[in-house]
Amino acid sequence: MTIKVDKVLDAKGLACPMPIVKTKRAMDELISGQVVEVLSTDKGSLADMQGWTKNTGHQYLGTITEGDVLKHYIRKANPNELKEEMTYPHTVSNEELLQMVESNAEITIVDVREPAEYRFNRIPHAVSIPIGELENRMNELNTEQHIHVICHTGHRSDMACQMLADQGFKNVTNVKEGMSVWTGPTDKN
């Protein structure tokens, strides 16, 4: 069965947050009801697209994997279906998180990047829960513990913070700059 698309967007070779950034721009060129096919090689883009569409009101139709390429299908919402895109209000800078790590503060750091990203560069003692698994693994976290959520640039962690807060987690903070500019200690495999 062939999927009719109105625009094909090539985001292959781009990492978070660029597939989402390009998708936002492409949506501006479409009219309500049209479908964009986003081609991506970033495995994290699956959770990114699902989370972004949930936050904005556009309809995530599905993803087809062909080799290393993910083909995401998104339908542009009608104006009355759109939501204002949310940004999680509680943030911390990398420098502030580093101070907490160095002072051995009682915090939990949740890394929502994909396993390959986590494996090669992570904050010591950070818990790996990829954003695509977060909904099913929230029970591994203490709702009362102060949780700092980190990803590569702060985009996926923003969505993860919103998900956690929606499920009753009270002390959740987004590390807004992420691992892309983290200068503190790291573990690597």
Give catalytic residue positions: 16
3-state secondary structure 58-80: CEEEEEEEECCEEEEEEECCCHH
Q: Which two tokens stand for residue 17?
A: 């947050």
Give the angle 180-183-185 at the CA atoms, nearest 5°.
115
